[in-house]
Structure 1
Amino acid sequence: MLKMIYTTTVDGFKSAFGRNHIETSRWEQLVFYLSIGVTLFVSLFPFYWMVVTSFMGESAIYSLPPTLVPQDLTLKHYESVFSPQTFPFATYFKNSLIISVITGGLSVVVATFGAYSFARLEYRGRGLFSRGVLLVYMFSGILLVVPLFQIVVWLGLVDKPGSLIITYLVQTLPVSLYMLGNYFRSVPPEIEEAAMMDGYSRLEVIFRITLPLSAPAIVAVFIYTFMIAWNEYLFASIFLRSQSNYTLPIGLEALSTGFHQVWGQIMAASLMTSIPIIVMFIYLEKYMVEGLTFGSVEG
């Protein structure tokens, strides 16, 4: 009798704890997926609204309550955006692309040699220099406006793309050095030493061994610098004066501060501005994630 009561009690506890565990797992999954849903909604709804508004007619844009699913779609906002009289998109796109590509390329070149010296070479003050570079990243961009503007005036680069290239290079170089330095340290030094014993110079070792092995970090640095230069507004609004030199963020600001708030055209231009970044991130996402993750873990 006692054995039967004991067996029944133990089985009851097992079944009760088993059900509680299953119910807990279901609640955890529910909270997990609910959190993901809320995060995706908050992140993607503004982008969805930008896309929808760019295809809406004027009456639907200003209707109350707002139309979440438009019935009548139109392309007139995109026609206005690509009209040179309304919004010289091609000029702004060309300026942004030139500045972003040159800045990204220079950042990769400068950061490659600088980070390699921090990771491999031995010289006096190396640790102080490597830590001091990160101090620049601690200052907000607004604090650097006056000294950078004085430098730009002294160099005669006001209202020229070169002023933005120098500024963006100064802003992004600390993170670029940090990311590439951590990746270069992951390359076994024995490989480089063996190559130099075979007759390779230091530059040949960098270009033939170190750089190919550090491709994810190099791509991540280029994408990071490109995105900063592509989306930056503060310094571009101060250093650029003529409309022919405007970048896309300044052109969008000029369009939005016009006499009439043409939200359809603003959303269409914003969507066209974001497409290059989205396409680049889709194709190079694995390199971006690997480079950033490795730098954050090893640092």
Structure 2
Amino acid sequence: MIYDTLLSPFIEFGFMRRALIGCLALALGATPVGVFLTLRRMSLTGDAMAHAILPGAAIGYLIAGLSLGAMTLGGIAAGLAVAILAGIVARTTIAREDASLAAFYLISLALGVLIVSTRGSNVDLLHVLFGTVLALDNDAIYLTAGIATFTLFALALFYRPLLMECVDPGFLRSVSPFSPVAHYGFLVLTVLNLVGGFHALGTLMSVGIMILPAAAARFWARDVVGLLAIGSTAAFLCGAIGLLLSYHFSLPSGPAIILTAGVFYVLSLCLGIHSTAMTKLRASRHLEA
């Protein structure tokens, strides 16, 4: 029973194994970036950047079809362009960075959907928006694994500046020349991992595997190392469970994975050991007693 339910799909089918490896790469690369996004209160920035890569990926698709290289380069170019433009607007006008980022990502999202829908089919649009994790080929896995490897090395190299920017960015700017490198380098990592997740989960779902496990980990750990470990482990397990649900119940794989991560977040919100609804309730009852 356990073999047929949990192991057989991954042992017998190559596409399930490739999808599982893709989920592992995303858990090791995208979720640690999501941890720092949540610590810096930039979770919605990740969502905005996920939408911002759409027109670049769509243009790459129009030029070369479902070409991994063209869509990847287009997505990276579009994401970085939106991030840079939002930063320039925030520093040269009265608009705040979050407002300018929201404006550019909405324009990007509408432009991307328009490009795909006018030059492609509904199937193409669904592929770009929601991804096809069960159709990952070896090239896509190599790309995602490469991005995850680069991300882990970059996070290890700039761990202390990134951590300090989460706590006090003003102090980091005053004492270290690495503040701009940490800030803009982190945005580059965010774009890279969203592009990597785009090939598996699409632009609308890729940010889910980045943010949901990272946000849930806040209810189970207090230190950053614990957040990284729990978030990445939870992301991989949610990916595996989502794939199994997709296989056994004929569900779309991307939404199944993200909804599994959403269930884990809700359970963590209720049952976690740090600052959850249950701990608040127990504390209030203790004070009443």
TM-score, normalised with respect to structure 1: 0.26
Give the helix-richer structure, 1 or 2: 2
- Specify the structure having the higher radius of gyration (Cα): 1
